[in-house]
Amino acid sequence: MSVPVFLASRKHELDGPELTLDGPEGRHAAAVRRLRAGERVDLTDGAGAVAECVVREALKDSLRLDVLRRYEVPAPSPRLIVVQGLPKGDRGELAVEMMTEAGVDVIVPWAASRSITQWKGDKVAKALARWRATAREAGKQARRFHLAEVAELASTARVEELLAGAALGLVLHEEAAEPLSGVALPPGGDIVVVVGPEGGVSEEELARFRAAKAVPVLLGPTVLRTSTAGVAAASVLLTRTGRW
C-alpha cells in the first residue's frame, strides 16, 4: 500500500523536526483515513517540497508528526500543457482527474465555439473550483509532488498565444495526416496540446491555430471522447519524451 500524501498550504509549514497536520487535511487524515501512531505519511507543498513523516500522535482532527527526512523533487521537463475544450456534464472533471493522474502539468479550460457547455457569470468560478479540487485530489492519489495547475478559462485568442509561445503546439484533429506518435519533438520547452469539445475544433479555430505554428495531428484510428482524448495524447507524449 502506498504512503498517503497530504498538502501543506505553505512551504514553511514543512519546516522543523515536528509538524502538525491540521485543518481540512488533518481532519481527513485523522477522522476519515483514521491514521494512527507509527504510520507513515508524506507532506508536500505541491511545488516539489516533500517531508517524509511518521505519525507520533493522532488527535480528533489532526496529526502530530515526526519528520524523517526532507527533499525537493525537480519539476518535470518538458512541461505538458493540455488545452481542454469544455465538455458537457461532469466529463470535465473526469478529464482533469485522468490527465492529472497521468502527469499533465497544466490544464487549460477552453471556451471553444462548438462547446455545448459554456461557463458564464458565476458559473466560471464554480466550475474552476470543481476542476481545481479534482486536480488536487487526483494529484494526492497519484503521489504527485508537483500538482497539476488548472489555469483560468481561456478564449480562443488565449489558446493562440499559448500555441505561439510553445516549443511545440499540437491540435488533435480527426482529418490530420500526421500521427501524434510520429511528430518530431523539440529538445526542450513547453508542449501544448489542444483537445476539442464534443463537436470538435472548428475550421476557423483550426486555421487560427495553424497560423500560431500549431501542427494538426491524428491520435489514432478511432474517435475518442473529448474526456479521454487528452489523457490518451498525454500518454503518447509522456512516453516519447522519456517522462514515463
- Helix H, strand E, coil C: the string for 19-55 is EEECHHHHHHHHHHCCCCCCCEEEEECCECEEEEEEE
Within 6-153, where are the H helices?
23-27, 91-102, 122-141
Say what the pLDDT of residue 11 is.
60
Structure confidence at residue 16 (pLDDT): 85
Distance CA 9, CA 81 (A): 24
Q: What is residue 13's predicted lDDT score, i.e. its pLDDT?
A: 73
The segments of the chain whose pLDDT lies below 70 read: 10-12
pLDDT at 31: 93
pLDDT the model gives residue 164: 98
pLDDT for residue 103: 98
Instruction: Locate the domains of the chain by residue range.
Output: 5-72, 80-240
Task: Give CATH superfamily name and number for 5-72.
Answer: Hypothetical PUA domain-like; domain 1 (2.40.240.20)
Q: Which of 109, 138, 107, 134 is nearest to 123 (CA)?
A: 109
As assigned by CATH, the class of the 80-240 domain is: alpha beta
In this prediction, residue 15 carries a pLDDT of: 85
Tally: H helices and E strands in the chain: 6, 11
Instruction: Give the number of C-alpha atoms closer than 13 A to the C-alpha of residue 86, restricted to the C-beta side.
Output: 23
